[in-house]
A and B are shown apart, each in its own frame.
Chain A
Amino acid sequence: DGGITQSPKYLFRKEGQNVTLSCEQNLNHDAMYWYRQDPGQGLRLIYYSQIVNDFQKGDIAEGYSVSREKKESFPLTVTSAQKNPTAFYLCASTPAPGETQHFGDGTRLSIL
């Protein structure tokens, strides 16, 4: 079955540590996105990539980094510069910007 896989489901970060969230899709979609969701809130765009080897900052990119070396993969690194990383992180993909987005089941990141 085609879909988006995010891992791990739960992640804990120590002070000063970088952590990487995985997002893999087998939908052959060109565009991929990372969102942050705080409790009871909507989604805020962190980074997006419309094509391999290219990505753009979203509304809240500070303290985060991404790479897009393969079409299927769009990992997100939460760096130590992100002082308030506790949130639910969602990855999505779409065949073209503005069309329906397909979401993974998220990674919940907490601080130790």
Chain B
Amino acid sequence: SQQGEEDPQALSIQEGENATMNCSYKTSINNLQWYRQNSGRGLVHLILIRSNEREKHSGRLRVTLDTSKKSSSLLITASRAADTASYFCADHNAGNMLTFGGGTRLMVKP
């Protein structure tokens, strides 16, 4: 069953701007993961944040987790045209599976 919901569904920005994507989930989690998918390709893992962590960084990516609100956000700073892709959150919950959200389609215009 789909648990995560992502917002916005689509986002269009100019190169150099920051992009923020949000994800909500419904039950308690062990960790939350963010993936990227280029058109017609498989998903690539970006960041995993555990339930006892609040923020994590990787290069131009920053992920936050608010377990009280059951939400997470992915921030891409100084975006590039090459960041154009779909971004998915996936929560690892008590069922020991990953449940993926519907994704945010990001377009970065040069």
Report which A residues bind B (CB closer than 8 A). Answer: 4, 6, 35, 40-45, 48, 58-59, 88, 90, 92, 97-106, 108
Contact = CB atoms under 8 A, between A and B. Distances in A.
- Top 4 closest A-B pairs, CB basis? A103-B42, A98-B92, A43-B100, A42-B100
B96 A43 contact: no
B88 A42 contact: yes
Interface stretch (B43-51, B56-64, B69-77): B43-51
Contact of A48 (B4, B97, B100, B102): B97
Contact of A41 (B1, B30, B33, B102): B102
B45 A102 contact: yes
B102 to A, nearest CB: 4
A98 B96 contact: yes
A108 B33 CA distance: 25
Interface of B: 1-2, 4, 30-31, 33, 35, 40-45, 48, 88, 90, 92, 96-98, 100-103, 105
A102 B100 CA distance: 14
Contact of A97 (B42, B96, B103): B96
A91 to B, nearest CB: 8
B101 A42 contact: yes
Contacts of A88: 40
Given A43-B88, A44-B2, A106-B40, A100 B45 contact: yes
B31 A42 contact: no
Given A35-B100, A100-B33, 18 more contacts: A40-B103, A40-B105, A42-B101, A43-B90, A44-B2, A44-B100, A88-B40, A90-B42, A90-B43, A97-B92, A97-B96, A98-B30, A98-B31, A98-B98, A101-B43, A101-B90, A103-B43, A103-B44
